Amino acid sequence: MPDYAKSAALYERAKKVMPGGCSRNTILRKPHPVYARRGHGCIVTDIEGVDRIDFANNVASLIHGHAHPVIVEGVKRQLDDGSAFTVGTEIEVAYAEQMVARNPGFEMLRFVNSGTEAVMSCLKAARAFTSRPKIAKVEGSYHGLYDYAEVSQTARPENWGNDDAPRSVPVAHGTPQSALDDVVIIPFNDPDRAIAILDRHKDTVAGVLLDLLPHRIGMVPASEAFVQALRTWTQDNGALLIFDEVITFRTSFSGAQQAYTVTPDLTAMGKMIGGGFPVGALAGRADVLDVMNPLNGPARFPHYGTFSANPITMTAGSIAMSLFDEAAVQRLNALGDKTRAGLAEAIRVADVPACVTGKGSMFRIHLKAAAPRSYRDAYVQPDEQRRIAALLDHFFDNCLILVETCSGFLSTPMSQPEIDHLCQTTLDGLRKIKPLM
Ligand code: PMP
């Protein structure tokens, strides 16, 4: 391994001009971040010249890994013709048609620039449609940075309140109390408690926001019973059901929702549908999304965005999604099954209290004996955090990049050798940290 002098020096420069030395905390690691020089397929090479297998894929956004040749070629062609216009482009229309064709519940769609913006726009559309102020969300679920969407994402035992009445806990200091008062927090996969809580706000909830496989709650699927209960409650009480599929859209051709009998009113998307470029989208019922339509008088939810649907993102996204067809989804999900089975075997052989969760092309390793059932169950205590940090360092030293929760997201250039390397490295890592467990 090199001495990382270049990365250390770059970080010293970075700290002088950016708070924390970065524009997103995701890149930080101790004693300094590493800096990428290039990425090809599933390999990232840093400025020190070290190659790593990338299981993070820019936090689940690169479904085809780095620099896919067909995407690169398409984007280069579009770059020659301009990168953003104040007038429309044909590729925006074509890509909207392509996405609408992917899911029968997507009657209409608008593109935005990030998952945060997609979730925010869904919530604003729900408020505009229902003329109600509140949103409900699951405790601990990550949905981006919008004030309302982030409430209780980092709730802790000392402030989360009792099980029957979870508190609305702010993430950012200075979040207005009025924002907290307009967010109703429900527990994951607990239909009875969730409905009892929602009932207390039945005339004021505009929409219920749900991630079907919430990464921060342990990457355990929402149960059919939970999703159905929320669907029935929203229908009976004049509220909308909103799925956040910013990450989970990858799990089926039409999104994670394909595995449920329930259709949401709105779906937020992002990450992989940008083909490697910044993106978000909201799709769903035409009558709901009509709140963004300014053609019949002022829109109920006026919506703009300088770079929304820019042709670079549209080109890359459209190619990426064409390549991620039914066959590609199936192949990657089968590789995901093998990955989770291989990791479970490593845990068995290492004989440590750990487990693996996930679905489709996603996995998460937990250093606890049983898969968590809720955010409170998934909550990582300081001791476990230290063991996770040690395991992540081991992955990194053995040339694997994972997401800091010990999660990974496969990309289509991967095949069995990368998975074998991951599983063997996990086994070695678990043996190494076993004395700490
Ligand atoms: N929703 C979910 C489920 C996410 O995982 C994320 C990002 N990790 C977001 C929303 C926000 O997306 P973005 O970072 O593109 O704003």
Residues 50 and 77 in one domain: no
Domain final residue pick, 275, 300, 323: 323
Residues 237 and 379 in one domain: no
Q: Where are the alpha helices (DSSP H) in 244-304?
A: 286-289
Residues 83 and 164 in one domain: yes
Is 207 in contact with 138 (CB distance < 8 Å)?
no
Domain final residue pick, 293, 323, 353: 323
402 belongs to a structural domain: yes
Q: Is 372 in the pocket of ligand 1 (CB under 6 A)?
A: no
141 belongs to a structural domain: yes
Q: Is 433 in the pocket of ligand 1 (CB under 6 A)?
A: no
Q: State how far the alpha carbon of 166 is from the alpha carbons of 136, 139, 187, in Å.
A: 12, 8, 8
CA of 214, closest atom in ligand 1: 3
Domain final residue pick, 323, 355, 379: 323
Residues 106 and 131 in one domain: yes
Identity of the residue numbered 59: V
Distance 214 CA to ligand 1 centre (A): 11
CATH number at residue 57: 3.90.1150.10
29 belongs to a structural domain: no
Q: Is 142 in the pocket of ligand 1 (CB under 6 A)?
A: yes
Residues 299 and 358 in one domain: no
Identity of the residue numbered 177: Q
Residues 58 and 122 in one domain: no
394 belongs to a structural domain: yes
Q: Is 407 in the pocket of ligand 1 (CB under 6 A)?
A: no
Q: Which domain holds residue 412?
A: 35-63+326-436
Residues 369 and 316 in one domain: no
Residues 75 and 147 in one domain: yes
Q: Residue 373 and residue 29: Cα distance in Å, rounded? A: 29
Identify which of 114, 246, 375 to mutate to test ligand 1's pocket (most ligand atoms within 8 A of the CB). Answer: 246
pTM attached to this predicted model: 0.97
Residues 239 and 379 in one domain: no
CA of 278, closest atom in ligand 1: 15
Residues 39 and 141 in one domain: no
20 belongs to a structural domain: no
Q: Tens-of-pLDDT digits for all 437 residues of the chain?
A: 678 999 999 999 999 999 999 999 999 999 999 999 999 999 999 999 999 999 999 999 999 999 999 999 999 999 999 999 999 999 999 999 999 999 999 999 999 999 999 999 999 999 999 999 999 999 999 999 999 999 999 999 999 999 999 999 999 999 999 999 999 999 999 999 999 999 999 999 999 999 999 999 999 999 999 999 999 999 999 999 999 999 999 999 999 999 999 999 999 999 999 999 999 999 999 999 999 999 999 999 999 999 999 999 999 999 999 999 999 999 999 999 999 999 999 999 999 999 999 999 999 999 999 999 999 999 998 889 999 999 999 999 999 999 999 999 999 999 999 999 999 999 999 999 999 88
Residues 312 and 353 in one domain: no
408 forms beta bridges with 363
Q: Is 279 in the pocket of ligand 1 (CB under 6 A)?
A: no
Nearest CA to ligand 1 atom 13: 115
Structural domains of the chain, count = 2
> Which positions ≥6 away from 296 have C-beta within 8 Å?
none
Residues 279 and 305 in one domain: yes
Residue pLDDT, tens place only, 247-298: 999 999 999 999 999 999 999 999 999 999 999 999 999 999 999 999 999 9
CA of 114, closest atom in ligand 1: 15
CA of 141, closest atom in ligand 1: 3
**159 SS3 class:** coil
Q: Is 119 in the pocket of ligand 1 (CB under 6 A)?
A: yes
